[in-house]
Structure formats: structure tokens, C-alpha cells
Amino acid sequence: MSTLNSDDLACFVCVANTQSISRAALELGADQSTVSRQIARLEAALDARLFHRSGRGVVLTEAGNTLLTYARQVASTLTEARAAVRASTGNGPAQMVIAAQPTIANTAFAAIAAALKQRFPATRVRFVEGLASPILAWLAAGEIDVALLYLPEQQGALKVDVLLEEDLTLVTPTSWSHLGATFPAKRLGEMPMILPSTGHGLRVLAETLATRVGTTLNMALECDASNTVAMRLVEDGCGATMLPFAAVADRVAQGRLHSARIVDPVVTRQVALATARNRPPVPELWDVMQAVRMSVRNIVMSGAWPGARLV
């Protein structure tokens, strides 16, 4: 009979807690195939099926429930051991620099800060906000350690871990609320748009969408400033823009903006955790990234990231 190991047991506990191979893979920072292999290895070692599998996820079998009690005891013991060792040898990296695009930073930085302070109390954390192009340059130059950003088309120099996805919405002045809760993409050409200049990821996405549905963007003005500036321009009646709902949820609730989900087709953007392939990782980077992953997952699960879905 094969022997049990702590990594497989930890993976089993994570799958049991999330009731999903894909969500467990996200938490563990592993491929779904790796998680599936670990569960299969445990089942072979115990000669018992641990989960019932369906299209909606996984549910523990009777054998799985029995194992879960012991696996949690093992996990608790190992956690205590790691904490004791860490306390005697130091608490994480001396410094960690994390960058994010504005919408992501506004939604996630506070929760990430709290998690890192608890997990790595001796680590000096610095947050940086920026647009995609500067963030990618900072990663390549080693000026930041980790980035949270909308998944770029070109990822050759990056190691990326997709965390969630968001639908894009058409953001308009409240006087345009007659447009309703959804807005067909084929009508984008009717809207005076406020978007970044050519080459920016959001502009490329909008132009690609317009071409796909057989229309042409009607640009009212170009805005390479922050989303806050773009939203103020929309509030003042200068035009409409495209943003994920999380970026505008507060202003919509306050009656300052109207937001309509773009449909036919639905347009999504993925948020990823990224590091540079060409830079040596700082000590305990994996632990820091795991804390960031868990923070993002908790934000989404709590509903504090409106419109976001874990992937």
C-alpha cells in the first residue's frame, strides 16, 4: 500500500472545504490536474473513494468524512509546527512590494494589507498603484515583487495565476438610465465613448468588440487618467465609458452613475496574480502570494468585490 503524505492530506482538506477541485487549485496555487492527481493518490493509498464527483463539484463520501477529521488534526499540528519554527527564525521577507491597477487596488488592497500584517507581522509591505504598462515594466525591472492586474494579451515574460473574472458594464450619466440594466454590444456605436488612447488594453478590447458586432466606436474623448477621472467625466455628461461593476458600484448606489451590463456578447476581463519570469523570487514569495490569493478569494466570496466570479 502507498504511504500517506502531509501535502496530499492538506490538498484533501482544501478540496473538502471548497467542495471544488478548481477552487482548491486556486487556493493552493496549483493546477487542477495536480490536485486531481493528489486526491487519486490518496484514494489509492487508502483503497477508498473519498469524493462523489458531479458537474457542480465534489461531496465527501463516508470514507472521506472519516479521513477529514484526522487530516484536519494533521494540518493543525503542522500549522503549529510551522508557526513555532517561523517564530524562531524570522517572519517572512523583510520587504514586499505589491502593485495593482486602480480598480483592483481600490477593492483589494485593504484586505490584503490586513492578511499580510497578520501572516507576516515583521514584513514591510509597500503598495503601488499604476496602469498596466508601468506595472509590467516594474515587474521586469524587479521594482515590484507581485502584481494584481487585468490579464494582458502578451504574457511571455510573466508567470500568471488567474484569480477571477468580471463582466464589463457600460457606465453612463444617470440621465441615461432609460438604457436599462443591460446594453447590447451592437449599439456601442451609438454612444459617445470616453476610453483610453489607442493601444491601452481597455481600448483594444472595446475596439475588438465593436468590430465583432459590426459597429464602430464613437469616441467623445480619450482619457489616459485614472478611472476616477473617467467616472467624473461621465458624471458631468461628457459621454459613457466601459468599466467592471466593482469600479462604479459605490457611485451607482449613490445615484451618481448608471451601469448597464454589456450583453450579446457578454464581455469579461480576468484578474491575475503575476510575477516576472526573469527575476529571482524573494524569500517566501510563495507564502505571500498564497496570502494574497486567499484574501482575494475571501473578498469575492463575501460579496465585497461586486460582479466578480472566482475561476
Give me the helix-helix angle, 21-28 and 6-18, nearest 10°.
Answer: 130
Average pLDDT, integer, range 52-81: 87
Cβ-contact 196, 224 below 8 angstroms = yes
Is the confidence at residue 28, as pLDDT, over 90? no
- Decide whether 95-164+270-310 matches 167-268 in CATH topology: yes
The confidence band for 93, taking pLDDT boundaries of 50, 70 and 90, is confident
Buried-state track 180-190, b at ≥16 Cβ within 10 A, e below 16:
eeebebbebee
Q: What is the pLDDT of residue 242?
A: 97
Q: May I ask the CATH class of domain 167-268?
A: alpha beta
Phi and psi at residue 176, in whole multiples of 5°?
-100, 15
Q: Which helix (H) or strand (E) holds 233?
A: helix 227-235
Q: In the chain, pLDDT over 90 holds for what percent of residues?
A: 67
Lookup: cell for 216: 464602430
The residues that bridge with 195 in the sheet, in sequence order, are 222
Under the banding of pLDDT at 50, 70 and 90, the label for residue 80 is low
Q: How confident is the model at residue 20 (pLDDT cuts 50, 70, 90)?
A: very high
Looking at residue 3, its pLDDT comes to 75
Angle ∠(285,165,281) on CA atoms, nearest 5: 15
What CATH fold (topology level) applies to the domain 95-164+270-310? Answer: D-Maltodextrin-Binding Protein; domain 2 (3.40.190)
Band of residue 108 on the pLDDT scale cut at 50, 70, 90: very high
pLDDT in tens, 135-145: 999 998 889 99
6-89: which CATH number, 1.20.1730.10, 1.10.10.10, 3.30.565.10, 3.90.10.10?
Answer: 1.10.10.10
User: Using the 8-state DSSP alphabet, how is residue 49 labeled?
Assistant: -
Please, which pLDDT band fits residue 16 given cuts at 50, 70 and 90? very high
What are the sequence ranges of the domains in the chain? 6-89, 95-164+270-310, 167-268
Distance separating alpha carbons of residues 124 and 142, to the nearest angstrom: 17
Place of cell 461621465: 234
Report which secondary-structure segment, H or E, holds 25.
helix 21-28
- pLDDT tens for 236-249 read 999 999 999 999 99
Rounded to an integer, the average pLDDT of 268-281 is: 86
Please state, rounded to an integer, the average pLDDT across all residues of the chain: 90
Which pLDDT does position 52 carry in this prediction? 93
Per-residue pLDDT, 253:
95
